[in-house]
A and B are shown apart, each in its own frame.
Chain A
Amino acid sequence: MQPIISISKVSKTYATGQQALNNVDLEIRQGEIFGLLGPNGAGKTTLIGVVCGIVNPTSGTVTVGGYDIQRDWRAARAMIGLVPQELTNNAFDSVIGTVRFSRGVFGKPPDPARLRRVLEDLALWDRRDSRVMTLSGGMKRRMLIAKALAHDPQVLFLDEPTAGVDVELRQSMWQAVRRLRDAGVTIILTTHYIEEAELMADRIGVIHRGEIVVVDDKSALMQRLGRKQLTLELQAPLAELPPALAARGLTLAASGRELVYTYDAQAEASGIAGLLSDLEDAGIGFRDLRTTQSSLEDIFVDLVREK
């Protein structure tokens, strides 16, 4: 299937000489939620800016829905909705006024019924006549989403959508995002909260210092790079590890009451079977065991460190 966004060899060097993007290649599939993950200053916002026409790339090409963002910029931009990171707003305007404006500048005829649905979905309809400056932070964030959705975009960029948003609102925001995805909207969200990408995304790309470090399905990425940890709760605490077990890379934890074994979930042989028989041979009994998979956070830290 043709990707809905195709970014090819895009670089951006700002007038200050700072290189924000370095030869970025990235394809976004139609209908997916793509998580673009990276630390602050990695180039996430610059990359979004290039696709949306706010930042001029130094080199490279981008197509959206098959339209080149330079040559067929009108068609490309009409497909995109952007929710910026900053809570920018026209403080003195009304909610409905600013959302109506957004629909208009994106070239869509007025449609009060459509705007009403958008505002209702984001629980803003009751505040439609309020001045933007009187809204709470969470409401302003939702208003920016309403603005981005006012022209029925097929691609939605959410740049750090949950910065400064409380847990409850975050969840309702994610529900809204899932509803959009179900309606066929492709969603690209940037975040430096790994849990968010882990929770929401179908695929994840990691960007660091202006380069895409890895792109993969979320589960594949976690499996590929994920390490698992086996923890055994011992029946009786151990003062020290028998030499045979220490050689397997085991460590003692919880004052000798637990044994911890770290292994690669993707390796041919995890070594667990051998470990367990060694334990039996050594006469060490255990009451319980649990395994934990490393989070995207750990994966991410590893990736960035490798670079």
Chain B
Amino acid sequence: MNLHAIRAIYLYEMARTRRTILQSIVAPVVTTSLYFVVFGAAIGTRIAEIEGVAYGAFIVPGLVMLMLLTQSVSNASFGIFMPRFTGTFYEILSAPVSAFEIVIGYVGAASTKSIILGLIILVTASLFVPLRIAHPGWMIAFLVLTAVTFSLLGFVIGIWADGFEQLQFVPLLVITPLTFLGGTFYSIHVLPPAWQTVTLFNPVVYLVSGFRWSFYEIADVHVGVSLAMTATFLLAGLVAVWWIFKTGYRLKA
């Protein structure tokens, strides 16, 4: 195990976060605060409670998930895309560092960053709405699992992408719509039965539902199902990354 390499990659990526603190931390916090102001304070007071939880508080887990998913994907994809784009990736390819170690470094840094972000957003949210966390342990578990899973997905996108457009494509046109339609702002029980079934094909439903359960013990699907699905996504991400390094896809000639 090349621990020095993992450390170097991890610290390098974290330093990149510090260099771009405005874009990586401040911007998402401002965006989330705007959601709370609009949906929580302004409109939320006119919306009835959902399953006994005030609307403003109900959307907190969903908003944290929204940021966690988009930021994990964009951090990790950017982290690996940039060295490919600038050509500096030759160094990592020629270094005595295994695929596994590279992934730990990049995905570890990207997940750390989005976990920190998620926690900051939670703290911000607590300034606007009364928060209650029923199962802090599970809350952290979902936070970490989701951050790692979507950082892996971001890593895969960063390797797959040929240019900046493709890099933006997945977070903007896949992750964001899926999150909005995945029960971030509503319980899927308010949908007509047919749409409820369709929604179950949206992976984000399981993430948001499980995460919300750890706060308020209310869920669209059973928490066990959420956990199993999250683990499945994680496994899928690991297999994709394993295949990429096995074949040298887009990395080696």
Contact = CB atoms under 8 A, between A and B. Distances in A.
A114 interface: no
B253 interface: yes
Interface in B68-123: 82-83, 86-88, 90-97
Contact of A49 (B11, B82, B253): B253
Interface in B7-32: 7-9, 11-12, 15-16, 19
Interface string B224-253: 000000000000000000000000100011
A77 B97 CA distance: 9
Contacts of A97: 12, 15
Nearest to B83: A90
A102 B91 CA distance: 8
A92 B220 CA distance: 45
B131 interface: no
Interface residues of A, number: 37
Given A55-B252, A104-B4, A105-B95, A82 B12 contact: no
B253 A80 contact: no
A72 to B, nearest CB: 10
Nearest to A86: B87
Nearest to B7: A104
B221 interface: no
A107 B4 CA distance: 5
B170 interface: no
With most chain A CB atoms within 10 A of its CB, the pick from B2, B7, B19, B253 is B253
Contact of A54 (B8, B82, B83, B90): B90
B1 to A, nearest CB: 10
Given A54-B94, A55-B252, A88 B86 contact: yes
B87 A84 contact: yes
Contacts of A75: 96
Contacts of B50: none
A74 B94 contact: no
A89 B8 CA distance: 16
Bin chain B's interface residue count: 20 to 34
A47 to B, nearest CB: 13
B139 interface: no
A105 B93 contact: no
Contacts of A135: none
A104 B8 contact: yes
B253 A91 contact: no
Interface in A37-87: 49, 52-56, 73-78, 80, 82, 84, 86
B19 to A, nearest CB: 6
Contacts of A164: none
B145 interface: no
Nearest to A12: B253
Nearest to A16: B253
A53 B95 CA distance: 8
Contacts of A110: 4
Nearest to B19: A92
Contacts of A88: 86-88, 90
B178 interface: no
Contacts of A73: 96
A218 interface: no
B5 interface: yes
Contact of B12 (A52, A74, A101, A108): A101
A207 B5 CA distance: 35
B88 A106 contact: no
A108 B4 contact: yes
A105 B9 contact: yes
B253 A82 contact: no
Given A56-B252, A74-B2, A105 B83 contact: no
A208 interface: no
B115 to A, nearest CB: 23
A109 interface: yes
19 contacts: A74-B96, A76-B96, A77-B96, A82-B90, A84-B90, A86-B87, A88-B88, A90-B86, A90-B88, A92-B19, A101-B9, A104-B4, A104-B9, A105-B2, A105-B5, A106-B5, A106-B96, A108-B4, A110-B4
Interface of A: 14-15, 49, 52-56, 73-78, 80, 82, 84, 86, 88-93, 97, 100-110, 147
Lowest 6 CB-CB distances: which A-B pairs, in order?
A104-B8, A88-B87, A74-B96, A77-B96, A52-B94, A105-B95
Given A54-B93, A93-B12, A107-B2, 7 more contacts: A54-B94, A56-B253, A82-B94, A88-B86, A106-B4, A106-B96, A109-B4
